Amino acid sequence: MTHLTLLDAAGSTSQVALREASGFTKPTTPLRSRLAYAAAHVVPLVHADNTPGRPAEIDWDATLAFRRSVYSWGLGVADAMDTAQRNMGLDAAAVRELIARTAQTAREEGGSVVVGVNTDHVEDEHISLDQVIEAYRSQLAFTEEQGAAPVLMASRHLARAASSAEDYRRVYREVLGAAQVPVVLHWLGTAFDPTLEGYFTSTKLSTSGSADWREASEVLLEIIGENTDKVAGVKMSLLDADAEVSVRERLPESVRMFTGDDFNYVGLIGGTDMPDVATGDVSSGSARSTTGEAGDGRAGEASAGAAETKRGYSDALLGAFAAITPVASAAIQALDAGDGARYREILEPTEELSRQVFAAPTFYYKTGVAFLSWLNGHQPAFQMVGGLHSARSLPHLSRIVELANASGALERPELAAIRWHGMLRLNGVDVPGVIA
């Protein structure tokens, strides 16, 4: 097969040449220049009743095999995050089992794993601040028992209960006080979850949002400053490079910035190691200079080794890296070799793909991640927990196919073409050369 058939929003089809596989090779030594985690999704059983509102039934073989594939490319796994459909189909029992299974897989593979800690096992929509603290502590204790490093996710319960910045300070102070290992704090923007508007401040913003992150970042930095020994890093998912660099510049030296910006990760990760970066060019992620060793341990362990350097880059904890794992690995290998130009050459084309996957409404990005997983042969069917595979249109998915092909993100191009063309035919779209 030499061509891909594409479908536009008007229902018209076109063809583009199918690119050969990129031929990236797996690393033979641990990645050094950046910590990089792929925020992995879950694969449902094909024959299960994974309809909205039903308990998730997971295909554990496919789900864990995907995590092993991520490890084989030298990346760490971030699990039980929003990518895994928390608050969008993954129930509390499934979350606990996922954490336990993925932690065991990490031990077997010698890989690094961080997992989400939240309050979402509490079914009541509105709870008190004391109940928020207890819910966080419960999940934190379970995560630590499994031997995984915690990511303290933004809580919908806390967003509803907090009436001031001081409420956020109190909750985080008490939860961090209970942590046995340093945690990563997660600041998730409203593009991903509108319920989190005003997080860290409780202030509902004007439509312009001109000062939203600035006020909140002050509170976040105060929380970190009061609990530096308990914070390994911050994952920022605001889709705002200016905000991320601003916070990154003010972090204590022992605290890493993990970009969750699926729109601007090339410059944020590359930072001052990229060529042709002008001073103050936020879009290219420039800020603090020098580099540090990443290592292959847990997030908290890695950050301790970097306490003496200030970094002009962000590390990575990205849903996008679950969709483009081989490409991401190859790009970081280029940075390891001191070749910033090659890093940019490899990774830059994927950013347009990621912007399509994470296009508004952004909270449906998981559909694109699962779709690419299916195209690349990591799961047997294009299905998602809660029926979420229906959340994107065929033209939207077609554009993902086109950009994945152009950026070298199709790991097995012929398989991807066969699966995509079969999907088109199933939906009544004629594909030249494909038998009905």
Q: Is 22 part of a structural domain of the chain? A: no
> How far apart, in whole angstroms, are the C-alpha atoms of residue 250 and residue 218?
10
- What pLDDT sits at residue 285? 39
As a whole number, the mean pLDDT across the chain is 91
Confirm if 172 and 223 have CB atoms less than 8 A apart.
yes
For residue 361, whether the previous peptide bond is cis, meaning omega lies within 30 degrees of 0, is yes
**Domain range spanning residue 236?**
30-389
Cα dist. 417→342, 354, 393, 413, 434 in Å? Answer: 28, 20, 18, 6, 11
First-to-last C-alpha distance (Å) of the chain? 16
Q: Is 409 part of a structural domain of the chain? A: no
> How far apart, in whole angstroms, are the C-alpha atoms of residue 400 and residue 368?
7
- What pLDDT sits at residue 337? 97
- What pLDDT sits at residue 209? 40
Q: Is 402 part of a structural domain of the chain? A: no
Q: Is 400 part of a structural domain of the chain? A: no
- What pLDDT sits at residue 204? 63
Q: What is the pLDDT of residues 271-301, one digit of tens each?
A: 988 887 543 444 443 333 333 333 333 454 4
Looking at residue 267, its amino acid is G
What stretches in the chain show pLDDT beneath 50? 206-211, 278-298, 300-309
Q: Is 176 part of a structural domain of the chain? A: yes
- What pLDDT sits at residue 310? 65
Confirm if 163 and 130 have CB atoms less than 8 A apart.
no
Q: How many domains does the chain have?
A: 1
- What pLDDT sits at residue 189? 95
Q: List the one residue out of 164, 185, 182, 362 whose CA is nearest residue 263.
A: 362
Confirm if 139 and 179 have CB atoms less than 8 A apart.
no
- What pLDDT sits at residue 210? 42
Assign residue 126 the CATH number of its domain: 3.20.20.70
Q: Is 160 part of a structural domain of the chain? A: yes
Q: Is 408 part of a structural domain of the chain? A: no
Q: Is 404 part of a structural domain of the chain? A: no
